[in-house]
Amino acid sequence: MALPKSASLRQIIFSGDTEITERTQNIHPHLLAPPREFSVTPFWFWNDALDEEEIVRQIADFEAHGVYGFVIHPRVGLPRDLGWMSGRLLHFYDLAIQEARRRQMTVILYDEGMYPSGSSSGQVVAQDPAYHCRCLAKIDLPPAGEPALAEDQHLVAVVERANGQRLAVIDRRADSFIRGLHYLGEGPAEDEPPAADLLNPAAVGCFIRLVYDTFAARFAAYFGSTITGIFTDEPNLLGRCRERPVFPGTAGILAHVNRILGYDFTPHLPALWFDDEPQAGYYRRQYLQAVNVRLEETWYAPLHDWCQERDLALMGHPAQDDDISHLRYFHVPGQDLIWRWVLPDHPSALQGTASTQAKCSSSAMVHGRRRRNANECCGAYGHEFTWEEMVWLANWCFVRGVNWLIPHAFYYSVRGPRRDERPPDVGPRSSWWPRYGQYADGCRRLSWLNTGSLHVCHLAILGGYNALPWPAARLCFQHQRDFNYLDERQLFEEAELKEDGLHLAGMCYQALIAEHEPALAAGPIWQRLEQAGRLLRYEAGLDEPAFVRQIDQLVPPDVTATPAAPNLRARHVVKHGRRYYLLFNEGQVPLETRLSLAHCRHGLLFDPYTGRQAPFAAATPLRLAGHQLVVIAGRD
């Protein structure tokens, strides 16, 4: 059936007068009614005096609105008699977990009393003051003489700059804290517990004993069933640090930096503070890369192993939007959309570090052979946040491959200053709560579709260890050339170049786009990629249409829009033998185009938020309303 020019696809789908005779042939039953596993799983802010009946009531309300899981997130506003990891607080955990089990819902445990993770709300430092977060700092020295150090300061090295200036580089305690669970008085000022040293294995071991082992002692019977994972939240090497400029450090850190980098970094220490040092930017990045590798050894690997041994998923996200390398340690790689850093109809949707984060986590899932990846979405988008923005953010994530949404947040209470603590409540206390079930159902369908499916993609973009480029990604998005990010370590340590392309984790990439030379030792695969003609170099100011043609010479286009539709995003997956295309009009202006799909000529158009369907034929113009997402369930 041809769509009349005057009608939008949404009008046709919603009209109810289209008879579909091939639904079961093209739409898997789980796409219509997915299992509860694929539910949105919100942060549930426990931020006031808790009451047993109210906890049970709120869980029932979640379930009634299509929300079948939650993250228990103790939050600022708890009274002081509900201290972090106290028996009284854990009593309410027991109640919530038991109620979730009764209702066949799932629970994720949050591993900190607020954030960033790693300090157990100050209890790690209370166990041993030596576990306090530490840093590297400098002391300017006279031409002669040795530095006078305070009791807590340790000399790392005395170095001399090219201009003759002498510096003492020291390791010392940082003026650093995390956000606390309790208000000072009636608020909004908060406790500031001391941050812990995440580069110190003994401090991390203390944290694991205080938090993870306590969870196990109390809730092990629920692990792997009702309790599916533990969420670690943006562990930061400097916590929330009040001072600048200092750099992450700990006792003995230089030996680890030298080991990881394979050379003595001592002569380059001044580059941490002085931009006029030779190759200052390069050596600063080298140092930060090395301490982040050390963080993987001291923090991420122990948490990954602890969870894996207990049939739990390590969840959460690292400190930065494009920290892709750390995600190899997550069973559910994640990132977070916060602070209105990504917005509809704004350059931020395609430009800047935050624009990379959905592809960051979904690429980590693919290359790490994980089943799920997550986004902690909508955090601190403000009281001006709208229903339309919330749906747009979900679609922005799904078309980039995210398959688990963790809304930030459902508030236990909005009494007093709680209403304004990282607002808004996107759940029960929002104006859209009566119709939330439609949103929850759509998210569950799209999460199911993106889970366990084969991503049809033959193009990769090279990322750094913890930096992902966005300019080439923007170009690919605007021309419906789907891609995954590939971090340098995976390229040089895991990928294999064969005659038909670059192979990694079951994917075959026929072209690799690079915006930079690798920071790591390139190795022979880099030269072989170039010799094979599969390396495409993206540079600022290049001829973009010509660059797209270069891509197409190596990777035949899967989706072609005529006329061009720069606001159209496309993702192609195969699941249970069926082909599905996610198509999202990321812009507010309605679009009309004809699609040429390499693997699909006919099928069904499916609206994931209503379940309604309409015929699709490649010869028929596709019309999408502003910010509309549809799925084509296709057949060749």
Which residues in the chain are classed under CATH 3.20.20.80?
A: 38-120+201-243+307-452
| pLDDT band at 3; cut points 50, 70, 90 | very low
Which residues in the chain are classed under CATH 3.40.50?
A: 457-556
Asked whether the predicted pLDDT for residue 616 surpasses 60, the reply is yes
The Cα-based distances of 241 to 196, 244, 245, 250, 353 in angstroms read 11, 8, 10, 15, 22
Q: What percentage of the chain exceeds 70 in pLDDT?
A: 95
- State pLDDT tens for residues 379-414: 999 999 999 999 999 999 999 999 999 999 999 999
| pLDDT band at 22; cut points 50, 70, 90 | very low
User: pLDDT at position 150, please?
Assistant: 86
- State pLDDT tens for residues 461-475: 999 888 899 999 999
- State pLDDT tens for residues 481-490: 999 999 998 9
Which residues in the chain are classed under CATH 2.60.40.1180?
A: 9-32+561-635
Angstrom distance (rounded) from CA 365 to CA 432: 32
CATH no. of 38-120+201-243+307-452: 3.20.20.80
Amino acid, res. 290: A
Asked whether the predicted pLDDT for residue 16 surpasses 80, the reply is no
The answer to whether 237 and 291 are in contact (CB under 8 A) is yes
Amino acid, res. 394: A
Q: Report the run of H or E that residue 529 belongs to, with start and end.
A: helix 524-531
The answer to whether 381 and 462 are in contact (CB under 8 A) is no
CATH no. of 457-556: 3.40.50
- State pLDDT tens for residues 431-483: 999 999 999 999 999 999 999 999 999 999 999 888 899 999 999 999 999 99
Give the number of residues written for the chain: 636
Who's near 338: CB < 8 A, 6+ residues apart?
Answer: 376, 379, 380, 381, 408
CATH no. of 9-32+561-635: 2.60.40.1180
Q: What percentage of the chain exceeds 90 in pLDDT?
A: 88
User: pLDDT at position 39, please?
Assistant: 98
Q: What share of the chain is helix, strand, coil (3-state, %, to 5)?
A: 35, 25, 40
**412, 407, 380, 403: which is closest to 391 by C-alpha?**
407
Asked whether the predicted pLDDT for residue 21 surpasses 90, the reply is no
Asked whether the predicted pLDDT for residue 617 surpasses 80, the reply is yes
User: pLDDT at position 106, please?
Assistant: 98
C-alpha 242: how far from its chain's center?
26
Question: Helices (DSSP H) in 296-435: which residue ranges?
Answer: 301-309, 357-367, 387-398
Sheet of 501-504: strands edge to edge? 496-498, 501-504, 507-509
Angstrom distance (rounded) from CA 68 to CA 632: 27
Average pLDDT over residues 366-377: 98
Residue with more model confidence, 31 or 19: 31
Asked whether the predicted pLDDT for residue 18 surpasses 70, the reply is no
Mean pLDDT across the chain, nearest whole number? Answer: 93
- State pLDDT tens for residues 212-230: 999 999 999 999 999 999 9
Question: Helices (DSSP H) in 220-370: which residue ranges?
Answer: 253-261, 280-295, 301-309, 357-367
The Cα-based distances of 12 to 21, 417, 583 in angstroms read 16, 46, 17
User: pLDDT at position 143, please?
Assistant: 84
User: pLDDT at position 522, please?
Assistant: 58
**470, 488, 487: which is closest to 478 by C-alpha?**
470
- State pLDDT tens for residues 102-143: 999 999 999 999 999 999 999 999 999 999 999 999 999 988
Choose from 158-167, 334-343, 606-615 the range with maximum mean pLDDT: 334-343
First to last CA, the chain: 18
Asked whether the predicted pLDDT for residue 629 surpasses 60, the reply is yes
Record the pTM.
0.94
The Cα-based distances of 250 to 68, 167, 200, 258, 303 in angstroms read 42, 18, 7, 14, 20
Question: Helices (DSSP H) in 146-272: which residue ranges?
Answer: 201-207, 213-219, 253-261
User: pLDDT at position 25, please?
Assistant: 52
Angstrom distance (rounded) from CA 629 to CA 612: 13
The Cα-based distances of 4 to 8, 91, 139, 270, 435 in angstroms read 8, 60, 74, 68, 30
Angstrom distance (rounded) from CA 3 to CA 222: 52
Average pLDDT over residues 512-539: 87
User: pLDDT at position 8, please?
Assistant: 33
